[in-house]
């Protein structure tokens, strides 16, 4: 068995109006989250990891114009139920934050072995639904990453 690299991405998929995509984990009913995933290799860049995970988990195609590295990371303790995926003794993961803006709430193609349902919620409500504190925090921070509205005079 190949162990997971304890470095991952969290990708907040959102609209300019502040709606956020949440997906429910197949292996943990009731656990809602944004797109997440670990690096496959140390050579894979974090941006490439984010792009790959978005494609695998939603079917969406991220581009340099739509997928932005927020240049933020959080270290968290890996939930005991998922530690067997990592090398013995590894209990922490470093999660890097990205944002993917889409024009409006889209129907996505879920990977059924990973996720079973999807929902688009206003970011405030989405933050309350996430099981992970790092995901909750990223959603609460979303407004600072969104482009400012354009005013028409």
The helix (run of H) or strand (run of E) holding residue 24 is: strand 19-25
Q: CA–CA distance from 93 to each of 37, 78, 146 (Å)?
A: 11, 6, 26
95 in a known ligand binding site: no
Q: Annotated binding residue at 151?
A: no
Annotation-wise, does 68 bind a ligand?
no
- Which residues contact residue 56 at a Cβ distance below 8 angstroms, ignoring those fewer than 6 apart? 37, 111, 114
Find out whether 114 is annotated in a ligand binding site: yes
Alpha-helical segments (H) within 75-122: none
Q: If 0-12 CB within 10 Å is exposed, 13-18 middle and 19+ buried, where does residue 27 land?
A: exposed
On whether the CB atoms of residues 20 and 101 are closer than 8 A, the answer is: no
Q: Is 74 annotated as a binding-site member?
A: no
Annotated binding site for substrate: 4, 25, 36, 132
Annotated binding site: 4, 25, 36, 53, 57, 114, 132
Q: Give the residue numbers of the binding site for Mg(2+).
A: 53, 57, 114
């Amino acid at each position: 068995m190949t162990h997971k690299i304890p470095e991952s991405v969290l990708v907040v998929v959102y609209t300019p109006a502040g709606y956020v995509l949440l997906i429910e984990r197949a292996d943990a009913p009731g656990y809602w989250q944004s797109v997440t995933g670990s690096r496959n290799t140390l050579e894979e860049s974090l941006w490439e990891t984010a792009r790959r995970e978005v494609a695998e988990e939603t079917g969406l195609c991220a581009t340099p114009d739509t997928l932005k590295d927020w240049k933020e990371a959080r270290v968290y303790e890996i939930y005991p139920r998922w530690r067997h995926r990592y090398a013995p003794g590894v209990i922490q993961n470093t999660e890097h934050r990205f944002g993917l803006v889409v024009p409006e709430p889209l129907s996505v193609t879920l990977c059924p072995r990973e996720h079973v349902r999807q929902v688009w919620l206003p970011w405030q409500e989405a933050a309350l639904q996430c099981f992970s504190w790092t995901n909750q925090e990223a959603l609460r921070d979303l407004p600072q990453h969104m482009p400012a509205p354009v005013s028409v005079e």
